[in-house]
Amino acid sequence: MIRECEEHGYFRAENCPFCGEEGKYIMSDAEVERIGRSLAGILRHGKYGLEMDSQGFVSMRDIINTIRDRNPRMGWLRVRHLEALINTDPKGRYAISGSKVRATYGHTLDLDLNLDCRNIPEMLFYPVDRDEAESIVKEGLFPSDRAMVHLSLTYNDAVRAGSVRMDDPTILMIDTEACIDAGFPIGHAAKTVYLCKEVPPEALYIADPADFVYDEQEDDRF
């Protein structure tokens, strides 16, 4: 659930992680899940046809009105509820600018996200099916069900991302300097997510699991 501490703001827990106060109740887990799914549909995929600018931003007021119109039981929804959900999202899925919000990644829409391309790590990672790894390294990495290739910050992030879709993903390493030099800039989209139009073969390598330590107990951040 989401609560609000008078001193430290919104948090997702029973008590404020900073002062231990119970705080004011904002939303249940079920409500967070329901609103989050609506946000993803609107901001990532253009569901309901709301007005969206070239960088993917949509008016929060338009989103609220649409959700309430389609679900009368959500008549309580206000801007502060969206702000609480967005500001406490552990994966950084959304970004607010003034009175508008956009998804930071996961788009199937072709947008000009204007991402920060500075201070990109030397190496990023991407999960693939074991049977496809060799061919991808030879031919390059292209978007599949999304508008851009989504790269992970760490080996562990890539394993977690890939495990959603496959049992035992093979992890590719991306030499970001080689990718950028080939004419494919990489932008920082969210906490552990980077985006690129495509990754050329000369920037791709198959990671050796022996070189990395995967901790299944780590918090899921992707």
Distance CA 204, CA 198 (A): 11
pLDDT at 215: 65
Strand order in the sheet with 123-128: 186-188, 193-196, 149-152, 123-128, 170-175, 204-206
pLDDT at 213: 78
pLDDT at 10: 97
Confidence of residue 214 (pLDDT cuts 50, 70, 90): low
Q: Distances from the Cα of 140 to the Cαs of 131, 182, 199, 203, 217, in angstroms?
A: 15, 12, 6, 8, 32
Mean pLDDT within 173-178: 98
Taking all residues of the chain, what is their mean pLDDT, rounded to a whole number? 94
Give yes or no for a contact between 55 and 106, defined as CB atoms under 8 angstroms apart: no
What tokens appear for 127 in the block? Answer: 């999960």
| Fold match flag (2-103 vs 123-211) | no
> Which pTM was predicted?
0.91
**CATH code of domain 123-211:** 3.20.170.30
Which pLDDT tens digit goes with each residue over 35-49? 999 999 999 999 999
In the chain, where are the structural domains located? 2-103, 123-211
pLDDT at 222: 31
pLDDT at 138: 97
Distance CA 146, CA 108 (A): 5
Has domain 2-103 been given CATH number 1.10.10.970? yes
3-state secondary structure of 122: coil
